[in-house]
Amino acid sequence: MNRKDNLKEKILPHRAYRIIKLDTFELIGSFVAIFLVFIAVFTFFPLILEKGIEFCKQFLDTLYVSAVFDINHKNFLIFDVPYIETYGKYPTKSFSIVTLIVSFILAIILYKNKYLKNISMTIFVLVFINILSSLYFIFFPQYFPYSLSSFSYLYISTSVVNWAVLMFIFGLLIAPIPANFFLKIVVYVLISLSVIVLGFLRYLLIIIVLKEYTYIFMPVLFLGFGIIVDYIYAVMLYGFFVSFVTASLLKKVDEWRWVE
């Protein structure tokens, strides 16, 4: 093999010495456009909430013919928040004991597992929460402060705040990216829609689990599958977007300004 085949035609400086050239007018335009989308979404947010909750109620009415699901409203900050009111069930002592034993065994297996350690430790934390929940329902079930209806309102109200914060943060993150103006708007709208739509689907799943398998899993569902999951969707989509932009910019040397 010719030695020249192993040499690059051009050796670029380390990425620490590269700075993106940003057009001030385009940057301001991106911030303004994303801000307008943000305002538009929250102008229609009460309608989005109402339609989302109505869809969830219709699905639950179809799934549970004999159960009763009502839509109630409470004022929360500047929104009239709709949420589903229904009833759940408390776990029996025997069910709590079985859940405790199964969770304890699973926790030991996960702790001893040498493979996929990061995933195992994440699941271990959730299982540990379930152990504490099982102990609570074995010894203090009468002091449990939540019903399925109150949890339903808690989930929706915290989601409203979370979606607003998430859209604001990712608007700031997307606007400065040196990409096509319309592509940035599309990505921002996609991230916003994904967290809202998937948030409602997760809301449905949580209600179904609590109705079928009692309140004992409420802490795990709220802490492990609550609002924090929205950031996983958003970061994943944002990461794909940044990777796509980075790959295209690496081929365009003229887009960079080199630090001396």
* Environment class of 166 (CB within 10 Å of its CB; exposed 0-12, middle 13-18, buried 19+): buried
Taking alpha carbons only, the member of 35, 7, 72, 32 closest to residue 167 is 35
pLDDT band at residue 176 using 50, 70 and 90 as cut-offs: confident
Each residue of 39-76: pLDDT tens digit?
Answer: 988 888 889 899 999 999 999 988 887 778 899 988 88
Taking alpha carbons only, the member of 66, 50, 54 closest to residue 211 is 66
Minimum mean pLDDT among 10-24, 45-59, 211-225, 240-254: which range? 10-24
**What pLDDT shows up at residue 203?**
93
**What pLDDT shows up at residue 63?**
87
On average, the pLDDT of the chain sits at 83
Angle between the N-to-C axes of helices 218-225 and 181-213, in degrees from 0 to 180, rounded to the nearest 10: 170
CA atoms within 13 A on the CB side of 173: 16
Please tell me which residue, 116 or 245, carries the higher pLDDT value: 245
Q: Is the pLDDT of residue 8 over 60?
A: no
**What pLDDT shows up at residue 250?**
66
Radius of gyration for the chain, computed over Cα atoms and rounded to the nearest angstrom? 24
Measured in whole angstroms, the distance separating CA 115 from the mean position of its chain's CA atoms is 26
Please tell me which residue, 167 or 13, carries the higher pLDDT value: 167
Over 168-225, what HEC string results? HHHHHHHCCCCCCHHHHHHHHHHHHHHHHHHHHHHHHHHHHHHHHHCHHHHHHHHHHH
**What pLDDT shows up at residue 253?**
56
Give the number of other CB atoms < 10 A from CB of residue 30. Answer: 23
**What pLDDT shows up at residue 20?**
61
**What pLDDT shows up at residue 18?**
56
Each residue of 12-47: pLDDT tens digit?
Answer: 555 555 556 666 777 888 889 889 988 988 888 889
Each residue of 120-138: pLDDT tens digit?
Answer: 888 888 899 999 999 999 9
Q: Are 177 and 184 in contact (CB under 8 A)?
A: yes
Mean pLDDT of all residues in 84-104: 91
Query: What does DSSP assign to residue 43?
Result: H
In percent, the amount of the chain with pLDDT more than 70 equals 87
In percent, the amount of the chain with pLDDT more than 90 equals 27
Q: What distance in Å separates the CA atoms of residue 48 and residue 115, rounded to the nearest whole number?
A: 43
